[in-house]
Amino acid sequence: MFKLRSLVTALALVGSISVASAWEALPTQALEPSDNPSTAEKIELGKMLYHDPRLSSTGTVSCASCHNTTLGGEDNRPNSMGVNGQTGGRSAPTVWNAAFNKVQFWDGRAATLEAQAAGPVTNPIEMGMKSWDDVVVRLKGIAGYQAAFETVYGKDSISKDNATKAIAAYERTLITPNSPYDKYVGGDKSALSAQQVRGMEKVAELGCTSCHSGAAFNGAGTFQKFPMTADSYLEAKYHFTKDKGVAEVSKKAEDEHFFKVPTLRNIAVTAPYFHNGSVATLDEAVKVMAKVQLNKDLSKDETADIVAFLNGLTGEFPKQHMPKLPETAGKTVN
């Protein structure tokens, strides 16, 4: 993973690469791994598990608590709150369109949605279960889950592997196509305003798309150093370098302050911004990015044009029908 990051970063730093001739619309379906094909029953099971707070030690935190599918796929908090009111040091990434990420988490420590789904459940700050063995025991004690797993995987099939595969299958349905931008690149030239088109052109001109590339504007697995340019005022205000990024996982100095390039899709509805959620507004985030990544000071009009374009990346959110969770009739979970 880190070799890939180094290669992609080196390419990104060669110069500002305009991709104005290669704007891509978002696919309406995500590729599935060969060992986890989707079915309607598996997706429904994954939806139940995703929204069930009983996968946490206190019975109060679910995947949806931090990655809310009735919002922008996160929680609009600088730092998400886990069990017993604990908060971590990072802002929750959006789950919408996460199927198009090559790696998951800000530091890219999970290569797949399946691997990502396993992590928060046993993180002591997030969902706080001591082990997945404990999760399996809890699920086996709920008759409705026994039946749901059997339908999807067969008899006696409740396991960490099957649970995370089901959650990932559900997450692969969380795609937001048909944004004004998608309609524009699909041929409807009235879908974006003149201001949004100016912003789109400015994004390419500045070189933003050298990192935020591809249909999901996420660099397809790229890691990028952040911030690139030291700015003492912004650092004192936002504390960007307190988090060492990929180096927190790799323990290598050369990986310090590298982060997965986040998607720009739906960015207008996923405030606050950056890995630590320190920037409250989109216009400020645009100005900060220009300064610390490109060493450029944007004018008021340039900022407004880019913000207008980014608003055009808000797609259509498929309606979420909340699942009926299996009951524990006459008792509570252990």
* Domain at 101, CATH number: 1.10.760.10
In this structure, are 203 and 259 located in the same domain? yes
Going by C-alpha positions, the residue among 46, 141, 135 that lies closest to residue 333 is: 141
**Cβ neighbours, 10 Å, residue 71:** 16
Instruction: Please compute Rg for the chain using Cα positions.
Output: 21
Question: Which residues pair with residue 81 across a beta bridge?
Answer: 87
pTM value surpassing 0.75: yes
Q: What is the distance of C-alpha 21 from the center of its chain?
A: 27
The residue whose two tokens read 């390039």 is 261
3-state DSSP call for residue 110? strand
Is residue 61 within 8 A of residue 184, CB to CB? The reply is: no
Q: In terms of domains, do 197 and 116 share one? A: no
pLDDT number for residue 1: 45
Of 124, 143, 171, which closes a domain?
171
Yes or no: say if 97 and 105 are a contact pair by the CB < 8 Å rule.
no
Shared domain for 113 and 207, answered yes or no, is: no
Q: Judge whether 240 lies within some domain.
A: yes
Report the 10 Å Cβ neighbour count for 195.
17
> What is the C-alpha to C-alpha distance for residues 100 and 81, in angstroms, rounded to an integer?
26
Which pLDDT score is estimated for 22? 72
Does one domain contain both 166 and 190? no
Do both 137 and 207 map to the same domain?
no
The total number of residues shown for the chain amounts to: 334
The confidence score (pLDDT) of residue 2 equals 43
Instruction: Tell me: do 205 and 165 sit in the same domain.
Output: no
On whether both 47 and 165 belong to a single domain, the answer is: yes
319 lies in some domain: no
Asked if residue 78 belongs to a domain, the reply is yes
Within a domain: residue 125?
yes
Whether residue 226 sits in one domain with residue 109: no
- Same-domain check for residues 185 and 161: no
Please indicate whether residue 201 is annotated as part of the active site.
no
Same domain, 111 and 163: yes
pLDDT of residue 268: 98
Q: Specify the pLDDT at position 283.
A: 98
Separation CA 271–CA 286 (nearest Å): 12
Based on the domain organization, do 143 and 197 belong to the same domain?
no
Predicted confidence (pLDDT) per residue in 20-36, tens digit: 447 999 999 999 999 99
Distance set, CA 43 to CA 30, 36, 163, 169 (Å): 14, 11, 11, 5
pLDDT of 19: 44
Sequence letter at residue 315: G
Question: Strand locations in 14-133, DSSP E?
Answer: none
- Considering the domain architecture, whether residues 307 and 183 belong to the same structural domain is answered as yes
- The residue ranges of the chain whose pLDDT is under 70 are 1-21, 334
Range of the domain at 258: 2-27+179-311
The predicted pLDDT at position 67 comes to: 98
* Cα torsion angle, 107, 207, 285, 234, sign: positive
Q: Which of 74, 114, 126, 302 is catalytic?
A: 126
